Amino acid sequence: MVSTAKIKSVDFYRKIPRDLTEASLSGAGLSIIAALSMMFLFGMELNNYLTVSTTTSVVVDKSSDAEFLRIDFNMSFPALSCEFASVDVSDVLGTNRLNITKTIRKHSIDKHLRPTGSEFHSGSTTTALKHDEEDDEEYGEGSVSLNGHSFDRVSHQYPIVVVNFFAPWCYWSNRLKPSWEKAANIMRERYDREADGRILVAKVDCTEEVDLCRRNHIQGYPSIRIFRKGSDVRDDHGHHDHESYYGDRDMDSLVKMMEDLVAPIKLESQMITSDNSSAKLATGLKRPAPVTGGCRIEGFVRVKKVPGNLVISARSAAHSFDASQMNMSHVISGFSFGKIITPKVMSDIKRLLPHLGQSHDRLNGNSYITNPKDSTENVTIEHFLQVVKTEVMTRSYKLVEEYEYTAHSSLVHSLHIPVAKFHYEPSPMQVLITENSKSFSHFLTNVCAIIGGVFTVAGILDSILHNTMRIVKKVELGKNF
């Protein structure tokens, strides 16, 4: 067996007997300073080890979402009715999609942005409607002209009141007029207002009765509204819940619509019977009219990664709009590109770079309000957005994707119907941020270097100080003798 003496011979740390060592005041001071230095440098090294470092590079966009880009939004338009609100998309490649509805939801809101009911289903506003052929045949004025006073009176007098809200300058109103008057004459002959009294066919000139049309939230001409007496009368302010007719506008279609409305009403009582199945028109021809003049539009669209436009406007293939009365003021609650980022993922992103993610939803909470009465008419609100994609690769190899954008907004006085337009321009490049991992072995090596280095330097300083003091004492003793 190997003797103990031989094992001791390889000892690198040979000990000096304690009674041969001498403690000094200067050595104690240096030891305290050395210990504090070790603690300070260890803290700095630990902080450096825990601090996240990243490498940033700019590369060509080859992201996983391929050639498409998702746009999520939530916007409120206090003066745009859901009845005609349309979401359109176009781009430089020629893509042109009008009135997107599959991924869009609309809710009627009041001027204070408060919802006034369930989701509003407006249906298609781009389908052309059937009209009678234009002819010079004479026709009488079969419908009754209403004003603000007479409207309230007849709406409480007749079980059914069908009203054509029109404008004399409107092309579609003039196309409807012959068919409307002919249908009104037929209904007056079949259901005399005095002897029968179950239905009244009327019309309102919105250029003359501005307040009445505004009260019924008329934004497109002509608008055919159906007012019902009885169960449709609301308690608040005596207004009636009503429906809009979106069917064909030829005489036969109008007469059939009115006949279907009258059929379930008994002549004797002039009250709606319990079985009102015959009053239901074909699907899509009659829907509830908006009870307020505003609309909240939320949802998403998928667009190609090329410069394009997202446009919110009033659109219809069979209505006209008074551009001077259109107000496209809006409040943006949310507007972002790419996948929806959860708060947890966003916090992970900001852990890497605190300033990252601040432009992910730059438009959120912004209001763009105009008042046509106080400024020039026909105001279009445009937003110019430049979009850059950022990919973050964490130490756990988790890929986080987000789109940041800059936004510049302006008011433009247009010759056409005002719109809210978002010009977006995706960048062909993307920012790639990689989190650099730090090895624990490197941290441990630096800690050992700190301890050994401080200990060695302190020992050297102590030796220098001790020898200096000894020399000084010898010199002083030599002088004394």
Assign 431 to helix, strand or coil. strand
| Residue 398: count of CB within 10 angstroms of its CB | 11
Task: State yes or no: is 82 an active-site residue.
Answer: no
Query: Are the C-beta atoms of 271 and 81 separated by less than 8 Å?
Result: no
Task: Please tell me the number of Cα atoms within 13 Å of 308 on its side-chain side.
Answer: 21
406-428: b (≥16 Cβ within 10 Å) or e: ebeeeeeeeeebbbbbbebebee
Q: Among 373, 425, 417, 424, which Cα is nearest to 85's?
A: 417
Query: Are the C-beta atoms of 287 and 244 separated by less than 8 Å?
Result: yes
Query: Are the C-beta atoms of 335 and 359 separated by less than 8 Å?
Result: no
Assign 164 to helix, strand or coil. strand
Q: Is the dihedral of CA 135, 224, 206, 294 positive or negative?
A: negative
> ω before 222 within 30° of 0 (cis)?
yes
* β-sheet bridge partners, residue 189: none
Residue from 82, 170, 213, 295 carrying the catalytic annotation: 170
Report in angstroms the alpha-carbon separations of 428 from 148, 306, 307, 322, 431.
Answer: 58, 9, 11, 41, 10
Which residues form the catalytic set?
Answer: 170
